[in-house]
Amino acid sequence: MLKGSLVALITPMRADGSVDEKKLAEFVDWQIKEGTQCVVPTGTTGESPTLSHAEHKRVVEITVEVAKGRVPVMAGTGSNSTAEALDMTRHAKAAGADMVLIVTPYYNKPTQEGMYLHYSTIADAVDIPIIIYNIPPRSVVDMTPETMGRLAKHKNIIGVKDATANLVRPYHTRTACGDDFLQFSGEDHTALAFLAVGGHGCISVTGNIAPRLCAEMHALWNAGKIAEAMAIQERLVPLHDALFSETSPGPVKYAASLLGLTSEHVRLPLAPPAEATRARVRAAMSHAGLLN
């Protein structure tokens, strides 16, 4: 069963805005060597809304090539167009991804039935494990546990990335979907609390720059060393705060640049972080022991 620290990868970019394929490959390899248990390219953290279809597919291909089966690859293939999400999902399977992460359709605000039909259409068409990504703050819609329970009956729909930060929700999801339905927190602050209510891990943003600490935190929790795991989370909380003090992934790409992992460049309409945010990120990274 997949569990532990999964990382929603940033997409390294050059100053001219193009995807830096060499840095991406190096970053994926570093993540795996640092203990990340699953890499998740082409999500919101990977700036999927502003990647062209060709770039999106190439990022998935590079991630699969570099992972080489060492850890699973969960490719982001969501869209508010079912046809587009289906195309991306077919490509991810052909490229060798182990599973896909599909966000609830944003902007067009589908009903619960619309969301059910969106996911079931893709699951019927492509034989690959699907993780539902439920993130109401970005997509506006919130999939209910009842709808998720309907979808969980499909053999290809195996779990959820829950970014509601609602720690009651996992109980209702488990009741609706069963104990084998994977539940991952999509919000770093709740990573441990989510495990305490039956979750299986966290799809992390902070893991981009602190992969070893995030992996160790989950390993300690799973070993029953709760106090040690909590100590790491407390050390990371200021960093979680800083990385979301402006729209992600601006702050986390800046943090990655401080570690020499990639440039800080993001694509418009995202803007470079303000100086106050940069100072906050640097201070949090020092507090976490990531900067000397």
116 labelled catalytic: no
Q: Are 220 and 16 in contact (CB under 8 A)?
A: no
Amino acid identity for residue 219 in this structure:
A
Q: Decide if 22 is inside a domain.
A: yes
Q: Decide if 250 is inside a domain.
A: no
**CA pair distance 108, 105, nearest whole angstrom:** 7
Per-residue pLDDT of the chain (292 residues; tens, 9 = 90+): 899 999 999 999 999 999 999 999 999 999 999 999 999 999 999 999 999 999 999 999 999 999 999 999 999 999 999 999 999 999 999 999 999 999 999 999 999 999 999 999 999 999 999 999 999 999 999 999 999 999 999 999 999 999 999 999 999 999 999 999 999 999 999 999 999 999 999 999 999 999 999 999 999 999 999 999 999 999 999 999 999 999 999 999 999 999 999 999 999 999 999 999 999 999 999 999 999 7
| CATH (domain of 117) | 3.20.20.70
Amino acid identity for residue 121 in this structure:
T
Q: Decide if 173 is inside a domain.
A: yes
Amino acid identity for residue 71 in this structure:
V
Q: Decide if 275 is inside a domain.
A: no
- DSSP H helices, 34-81, are 53-67
Domain span including residue 177? 4-225
Q: Which of 119, 133, 253, 254 is catalytic?
A: 133
Q: Decide if 208 is inside a domain.
A: yes
Q: Decide if 240 is inside a domain.
A: no
Please state the domain count of the chain.
Answer: 1
Q: Are 31 and 4 in contact (CB under 8 A)?
A: no
**CA pair distance 267, 51, nearest whole angstrom:** 9
171 labelled catalytic: no
Q: Decide if 84 is inside a domain.
A: yes
Q: Decide if 247 is inside a domain.
A: no
Q: Which of 161, 171, 253, 254 is catalytic?
A: 161
